Structure formats: structure tokens, C-alpha cells
Structure 1
Amino acid sequence: MFGLIGHSSSFSEARLKARDLGFEDLADGELDIWCSAPPQLLETFEVTSNTGKTIQGTYIDSCFVPEMLSRFKTATRKVQNAMELAQKRGINITALGGFTSIIFENFNLAKFQQIRSTLLQWERFTTGNTHTAWVICRQVEQNAPLMGIDLAKARVAVVGATGDIGSAVCRWLSRRSGVADLLLVARQQQRLNDLRTELGGGEVLSLEEALPEADVVVWVASLPQTLTIDSASLRKPCLMIDGGYPKNLDGKVNSPHVNVLKGGIVEFARDIGWQMMEMAEMANPRRQLFACFAEAMLLEFEDWHTNFSWGRNNITLEAMEQIGAASIRHGFSVLGLEAASISPLPIAA
């Protein structure tokens, strides 16, 4: 069996979901009550691969919300409690979705392996970041040409370039996709310099400098609520991949020549009998899901019961190719632009 650990995109959304599920005490409770709420196993379901293999899965809500990020000890405890629940249920491999994986990028898990009477076994958990990185790269490769963007001549900005997903995307785009120029954007200068050295190229820029220069923008950092984007300054055409969480980049951009695609989303070959993706506001919630969750399914399909993705900057191109091949084999396809939504190319004067 595989598991998925997730959370709501906001406190207000979590309260609404709690009311729908009959948890009135949580629906009416303030944030402090949610900080002490235990994780909830909300549903179980089956998934059948294109190979014919059927596996069982379960979804665990960590009762974590992004508003808890300022309380780091609380946030980590919430995720660890959900991991403990998954392990106690005997789940082979569990994916951490949304902020639950980001929390652990700079966290020394070895110091916090004991949760009450449970010693967490890391091989039972994966962040799903390797599959997410591969999916985002395939979204760039498949959709940029549809907009008339030649990657061999394109400048691609990666916002959040030094994170686990961001650094993997940079490696793939520079060594597999043949992108002409990479524009590296992140907050910590030393990590940017180290990444540029590793890649053997790339240009370190601020966000304000990079956006007007980019034919493609891959956004894998958290999107600040206060951020404003001057749509008129963006390239025509421009493809923007919203690989952050929650996915709200489309609300920041208003231009007929810019297409925003939800990044890190896959569509399965057949319906899945679950409710969880309706909460995530997927366009096709019976088939569409986050690539990080799909990684847990793939590991269960393949009997690869190991922490395939973990930590920061550990994702290799070989691992991306391996999980990508499994993704195709079992019936997943990357989310692409709808033909009707692709903005027309500007007419030359």
C-alpha cells in the first residue's frame, strides 16, 4: 500500500473542508486548536496501472496549514505525526505533498527520528520531488514549441533555482533540453554561485531582472502574496510554469501573449475513485494529481520501497529518467496547454 500526506492551501480552506467532513470542532476552531489537532486518514482507494497491476492507497491530511510555517517546531511536528500514522498503518511508501516536503529540505531528520514510541523509517517516505522535477521539465519541452519558442535559442528563468526541485530542473534543462541560456533566481547568493559553478554556466539575476528577459519562466519557489508582475514587460510570447504551491501565478499575469501552465501536475490514464483532488481544485479531479503524489504510486507499482527523493540537491538526471520512464509505463502524462488556450503569436510589423 502507498500513502499520500497532504494539507489544505490555507487555514480558511482547511476550516471549510473540516466542516464538509463533519469535524465541527476544527471548523470552528482557531489556529491554536489546529496546531494540536492530530492527522486524519480521510480515504482509501485503488489505482490500476496500464500494465494491469492494481495497488491500494490512502490519503492522510496532516492538519497542517501554511499559516503554521512561522511556527517551525509546530510545522515539523505536524508532518512527523502524519508520518508516524502512515508507518503505524504499515504503509510501504508515503509521499509528502505541498509544504510538508519543503519543511524537511533543511531539517536534520536524524535528530528527530523518534516520535513517541515510533522510530521513523526514512525508506518508507519520499518527497516526490524527482518526479515533480521531471514533469516540469517535460512541460517546458512539450509546450514551449507549441507557442513558437525554440528552446535551443530560448532564455529560461528558474525562480527558486537552488531548491531541491529547482536545482534538478536546472540540471535537466541545461544538460538534456539544450536550453540556450539559464537565468538563475533565488534568495541566497552563495547557493546560486555554487549552482552556477556546478552547471558550468547560467546567469545569476534578480527576479526583476530575469522576468523581462525570459522566454520561459519556471516558478518553483513560493509565490509571495504581495508580488506584482508587470505583464507588459514580459516577452511575447512567454510560457510560465507555475510549479509552486498553492498555484496562483495565473492571477498575477494578464497578457494575451503569456500562457500560464500549472506545473508538476500529471493526468492518469483512467479515473481514480477518490475525493481528495476535488479539494485541490483540479480541472479533472478523477485523473489529475500532483506529480509528487504520483511518485508514491510509481514506487508502489515498481516495488521500489525506498525514499527515492529526499533532502536538497540530491536529485540526479539518472533518477529523473528512471522515474520518468516508469511514469509513462504506468499511464501518467504531463499536464499541457489546451490548444484553445494557447495565445496567438504576435504579428511582426
Structure 2
Amino acid sequence: MFGLIGHSTNFEEARAKARSLGFEEFAEGNLDMWCSAPPQLVERLEVTNPSGKKIEGAYIDSCFVPEMLSRFKTARRKVLSAMELAQKSGLDITALGGFTSIIFENFNLLKEQQIRSTTLEWQRFTTGNTHTAWVICRQVETNAPRLGIDLRQASVAVVGATGDIGSAVCRWLSQRTGIKELLLVARQQQPLLDLQQELGGGQILSLEEALPQADVVVWVASLPQTLSIDVDKLKSPCLMIDGGYPKNLDSKANGAGIHVLKGGIVEFFSDITWQMMEMAEMANPSRQMFACFAEAILLEFEGIHTNFSWGRNNISLDKMDLIGAASLRHGFEALSLSLQPDASLAMAPA
């Protein structure tokens, strides 16, 4: 069985979700009550691939919300408790979705293998980052040409280049895609220099320097609320892949010739009966999901019960090839642009 660990995008959404699922005590509770609330296995589901193979899984809500990020002990406890519940529920491979994987990595929860009486078995968990990186790269390769952008002549900026997903995207773009110029953007200089040396190239720039030069911008970092983008300085056309979390780039970059695509999202070939993607505000919630969640489903279909994506900057091109081939084989497609006659943007499967 596969598992998915997720959370709501904000506290009010979490309360609304609790009410819709019949958890009235959660719906009426304040943030302090939610900080002490245990994770909940809220949904069981079945997924059938194109060849007819069926697998079963479960969705666990960690009862974490982003408003808790400043509370280190609470965030740590939420993630570890959700992992404990997944293990005790007999889930063989579980994906950490949204902020749960970020908390796990940034707070170095590998040091916290013991949670109450349970010793967490790391091989049961995956961040899903390998599949997310592969999907984002596929979105670049598929959608840039549709906008008239020749990747062999294009400059591609990766914002958040030194992160787990960002560095994997950089490896793929530099070695597989044949782009003209890779622009590396991140907050810390030394990791950028290390990445540049690993890649054997790439230009290190600030965000302000990179954006006007980029034909394609891959965002794999969360956008600060205070960030302002001067759309008049962007190229036209410009493809922007919003691979961060939460996905709010479309509110920052909105103008003629700018095409924002939600990155790291896939669509299954048939409907899945579940509620959780409705809460995530997917355009087609019965089929669309985060690629990190889909990684757990793919690993279950493949019978690979191991921590496939684990640790920072460990994603290899071979692993991206493996999970990418599995993704196509089992009925997933990366979300793509749907270009209307007036060039406005909508969301649709590739």
C-alpha cells in the first residue's frame, strides 16, 4: 500500500476541510488546538493503471498548516507523528507532500528516527522530489517549443537552483536538453559556486539580473509575499514554470506574452475517487495531483518500496529516467499549457 502525507495551504482552509470531513471539533478549534491535534488518516483510495493493475493507498492529513512554520517543535512533531501513523497503518511507501518534506529536510529530522515507541523505518518514505524534478523538466521541454522558444537558442533561469529539486533540474537541463545558457539563481553564494563546478558551467546571477535575460524561468523556490516582478522587463514570449509551494507565481507575473504554468503537477489518465485534490484547488481534482504524491503511487505500481528520493542533492539522471518512464507507463502526463486563440492561458493536460 502507498501513502500520501499532506496538509492544508492555510488555517482557514484546514478548518473548512475538517468540517467537510465531519471533524467538527477540529473545525471549531483555534490554532493552538490544531498545534496539539494528532494526524488523521482521512481517506483510503484505489488506483488502477492503464493495464488494469490495481493498488490501494491512504491519505494522511498531518494537521499542519503554514501558520505553524515559526513553531519549530510543533512543525517537527507534526511531520514525525504523520510518518508514525503511516508506518503503523501498514503503508509500504509514503510520500511527504508540501511543507512536510521541506520541514523534514530543513529541520534535519533524520536525527529524530525515534518517535514515542516507534522507530521510523526510513525506507518507507520518499520526498517525491525525483518525480517532481522530472515532471518540471518535461514541462520545459514540451511547452517552450509551443511558444516558439527554441531551447537550443534559449536562456533558462532556475530560481532556487541549489535546492534538491532545483539542482536536479539544472543537471537535466545542462546535460539532456541542449539549452544555450543556464542561469543559476539562489540565495547563498557558496552552494551556487559548488553547483556551477559540478555542472561545468552555468551563469550565476541575481534574480534581478536573470529575469530579463530568461526565455524560460523555472521557479523551485517559494515566492516571498513582498516579491515584485517588473513584467515589462521580461522577454515575450516567456515561459514560467511555477514549481514552488504554494503556487502563486501567476499573481506576481501577469502580462502579455508571459505564460505561467503550474509546475510539478501531473494528470492521471482516468478519474480517481478522492476528495483531497479538491481541497488543493486542482483544475481537474479527480485526475490531477502533485508529482511528489504520484511518486509514491508509481513506486507502489513498480514494487519499489524504498526511500527513492531522500536527502538533499541526491537526485541522479538515472533515477529521473526510471521514474519518468514509470510515470508514462502507468498513465500520468505532465500538466501543460492550453493556448487559446488570443494566446491567453488556461490549464489542460498535455
Interval of TM-score (by shorter of Structure 1 and Structure 2): over 0.9
1:164 deviation in Å?
Answer: 0.4
Amino acid in structure 1 at the alignment position of 2:325: A
Other-structure match for 1:95: 95
Q: Distance in 2 between matches of 1:294 and 1:111?
A: 27
Q: Distance in 1 between matches of 2:161 and 2:184?
A: 6
- Closer, same or farther in 2 for the Cα pair 1:341/1:197, shift >3 Å? farther
Q: Distance in 2 between matches of 1:28 and 1:191?
A: 45
Secondary structure of 2:85's match? helix
Q: Distance in 2 between matches of 1:123 and 1:10?
A: 30
Other-structure match for 1:160: 160
Q: Distance in 2 between matches of 1:159 and 1:30?
A: 36
Secondary structure of 2:284's match? coil
Other-structure match for 2:104: 104
Secondary structure of 2:32's match? helix
1:342 deviation in Å?
Answer: 7.7
Q: Where does 1:160-199 land on structure 2 (aligned, <5 Å)?
A: 160-199=160-199
Contact kept? 2:93, 2:126, Cα under 8 Å: yes
Q: Distance in 2 between matches of 1:202 and 1:52?
A: 44
Q: Which moved more, 1:322-331 or 1:224-233?
A: 224-233
Other-structure match for 1:210: 210
Secondary structure of 2:224's match? coil
Amino acid in structure 2 at the alignment position of 1:262: K
Contact kept? 2:220, 2:244, Cα under 8 Å: yes
Give CA deviations for 1:188-219 in whole Å, capped at 9, x if unaligned: 11111111111111111111111111100000
- Closer, same or farther in 2 for the Cα pair 1:246/1:84, shift >3 Å? same
* 4+ aligned runs moved over 4 Å, structure 1: none
Other-structure match for 2:348: none
Secondary structure of 2:150's match? coil
Contact kept? 1:105, 1:164, Cα under 8 Å: no
Q: Distance in 1 between matches of 2:7 and 2:155?
A: 34
- Closer, same or farther in 2 for the Cα pair 1:239/1:341, shift >3 Å? farther
Contact kept? 2:104, 2:110, Cα under 8 Å: no
Q: Distance in 2 between matches of 1:217 and 1:11?
A: 30
Other-structure match for 2:150: 150
Secondary structure of 1:139's match? helix
- Aligned residues with identical type, % of pairs: 75
Give CA deviations for 1:144-202 in whole Å, capped at 9, x if unaligned: 00000011111111111111000000000000011111111111111111111111111
Secondary structure of 1:247's match? coil
Other-structure match for 1:314: 314
Amino acid in structure 2 at the alignment position of 1:43: E
1:20 deviation in Å?
Answer: 2.0
Secondary structure of 2:201's match? coil
Q: Which moved more, 1:221-230 or 1:303-312?
A: 221-230
Is 1:10 paired with 2:24? no
Other-structure match for 2:263: 263
Q: Where does 1:1-349 land on structure 2 (aligned, <5 Å)?
A: 1-340=1-340, 343=343
1:341 deviation in Å?
Answer: 7.3
Equivalenced residues, count: 344
Q: Which moved more, 1:77-86 or 1:45-54?
A: 45-54
Contact kept? 2:76, 2:109, Cα under 8 Å: no
Unaligned runs of 5+ in 1: 345-349
Give CA deviations for 1:71-127 in whole Å, capped at 9, x if unaligned: 122112101100000000110000000011111224444421011010000000000
Secondary structure of 1:335's match? strand
The TM-score, its normalising length taken from structure 1, stands at 0.96
